[in-house]
Amino acid sequence: MEVNKVVTFGEIMLRLSPPMYNKIEQTNEYQAYYGGGEANVAISLVNLGHDVQFVTKLPNNQLGDGAIKHLRAQGVDISHVIRGGDNIGIYFLEHGFGGRPSKVLYNRKHSAFSEMNSEELDFDLIFNNVKWFHVSGITLALSESIRQSTLLALKKAKEHHVLVSFDFNYRAKLWSLKEAKEAFLKVLPYVDVCFATIRDLKDILEYKFDGPDEEYTRELHMMQFAKEFQIDYMFGTDREVISANENILSAFAILRDKTFQTKEYRFNIIDRVGGGDAFASGVISGLLNNYSDFKCAVELGLACSVLKHTLYGDASILKMNEILEFMKSSGRSLIER
């Protein structure tokens, strides 16, 4: 039987948000959710019908217990979640409204996950009977020990013939461009599927492209990058912000020898957090179903992302039939492709 199990590796945090679009300094109460990049991808993929294991470390206290219950309730495999340390990562999200953008405030230093070391994990056991491994730049940003653990995980994934996806997911509040460049260049040789934009390649990696920008399109730039690093696919989104509550989104796929650009969706927003993770999960789901059908994968990812914006919380919990019905109603049925 074909193996489709997915492993994601990262930190799950407690998110606190003021209700009713209030600012942090004016609220007397918070809405609490659990979330984090790779945890969001894991939850979304489970709801899309995949077997997913999330690897992390959580403190052995009530907040850690709450995160475990959250993951378990969504059907995520937590058999390799380590317990220990003192703190869970926390972040505060202030929802934007109209012309006022959203704001994020992190409180995640010295979290249990950030202080974890590679000796606590058995990646040979973790990657047994696994098809796909996903990680992001947010995880790499947390500490040197986590960067070492991630590199070990990537090496072990390749030893076990596991496909690897990596989302640049750069956060300036967590580390510098110089630190990110050094870490990303170590990761990219192991990557099969990459989520990034041309701005990521230029600003973070300071990647030098052949020819002047006015003669080289984004697609040609990214095709060159994919060929050099032997990446099968690169995916990303293009966002136009009308206001904090209304955006336009499209997506693209870059191969070493061809490209694909979707049409746009214009939509209203309840909660923007996790939109990129939903996009990644939709793409991964599509590629797991048929690795060569990148057009369906990117369309599925875009639809997942758009619909995630209509849900409170960090992760998409939408089922595959809901995504496909939305695509059909938008004139983008996968069946018609």
- For position 109, which CATH number holds? 3.40.1190.20
Question: Is the Cβ–Cβ distance between 102 and 94 less than 8 Å?
Answer: yes
Q: What is the mean pLDDT of residues 77-87?
A: 95
Mean pLDDT, rounded, for 294-317: 96
Query: What is the Cα–Cα distance from 110 to 143, expressed in whole angstroms?
Result: 9
| In a domain? residue 203 | yes
- Rounded mean pLDDT of 2-11? 86
Considering its fold, how many domains does the chain have in total?
A: 1
Report d(CA 320, CA 304) in Å as an integer: 9
| Residue 334: per-residue pLDDT | 61
Phi/psi for 18 (5° steps) reads: -65, 140
Where is 40: in which H helix or E strand? helix 37-47
Contacts of 201 (CB under 8 A, 6+ apart): 207, 221, 222, 225
User: How confident is the model over 112-131, as pLDDT tens digits?
Assistant: 999 999 999 999 999 999 99
What is the per-residue pLDDT across 201-225, written as a single tens digit (0 to 9) for each? 999 999 887 766 554 578 888 999 9
pLDDT for the residue numbered 218: 81
Q: What is the pLDDT of residue 336?
A: 43
The CA angle 309-311-315, to the nearest 5 degrees, is: 85
Per-residue pLDDT of 145-201, as tens digits, reads: 999 999 999 999 999 999 999 999 999 999 999 999 999 999 999 999 999 999 999
Full residue range of the structural domain in which residue 276 is found: 6-336
pLDDT of residue 101: 87
Residues facing residue 311 across a β-bridge: none
Q: Quote the pLDDT of residue 150.
A: 97
Give the pLDDT score at 102.
87
Read off the tokens for 194: 């990459």
Q: What is the mean pLDDT of residues 5-33?
A: 93
Is residue 10 within 8 Å of residue 116, measured between CB atoms? no
Q: Is the pLDDT of residue 86 over 70?
A: yes
Q: Across the chain, what does the average pLDDT equal?
A: 93
Q: What is the pLDDT of residue 240?
A: 94
User: What's the whole-model pTM score?
Assistant: 0.94
Q: Can you tell me the mean pLDDT for 301-320?
A: 96
In a domain, 1, yes or no: no
What proportions of the chain, in percent to the nearest 5, are helix, strand and coil?
A: 40, 20, 40
Identify the CA nearest to 169 among candidates 154, 184, 157, 155. 184
Which pLDDT score is estimated for 211?
Answer: 63
Q: Which residues contact 44 (CB under 8 A, 6 or more apart)?
A: 277, 278, 281, 282, 304, 308, 315, 316, 317, 318
Ramachandran area for residue 28 (φ above 0: left; ψ -120 to 50: alpha; else beta): alpha
d(Cα 267, Cα 284) in Å, to the nearest integer?
Answer: 23
Question: Which DSSP string corresponds to 206-251?
Answer: -PPPSS-TTTS-HHHHHHHHHHHHT-SEEEEEEEEEEETTEEEEEE
Assigned domain for 83 exists: yes
Cα–Cα distance measured from residue 310 to residue 107, given in angstroms and rounded to the nearest whole number? 26
Give the dihedral sign, CA 196/302/8/86. positive
Which pLDDT tens digit goes with each residue over 230-278? 999 999 999 999 998 999 999 999 998 899 999 999 999 999 999 999 9
pLDDT at 107: 87
What residue type is 13 in one-letter code? M
Write down the pLDDT at residue 337: 40
